[in-house]
Amino acid sequence: MPISHRLYRLYEQHRWIDRMLRDEQRRPEPDDLRLRDLKRRKLQVKDEIRIAEAGLVPASTG
């Protein structure tokens, strides 16, 4: 899969997780375990985005 397509999918996934996280936080009694899992997954996706973005930047020939 092309990097740009992968990045698009990762950004979409990050936004979806963010929405799920906000929805859970707005509940009268948020599920702490679910919040922890969503936060962990959001960080994992963010790391994947950084790695994919690094692949788009040409290496410095210094």
Within 10 Å of residue 49's Cβ, how many Cβ atoms? 16
Q: Which pTM value belongs to this model?
A: 0.80
pLDDT for position 12:
98
C-alpha to C-alpha distance for 43 and 53, rounded to whole angstroms: 15
Asked if 35 and 25 touch (Cβ cutoff 8 Å), the reply is yes
Tens digits of residue pLDDT in 4-59 = 889 999 999 999 999 999 999 999 999 999 999 999 999 999 999 999 898 876 65
* Close Cβ partners of 4 (under 8 Å, ≥ 6 residues apart): 56
CA distances to 11, 31, 38, 39 from 52, in Å: 11, 31, 21, 20
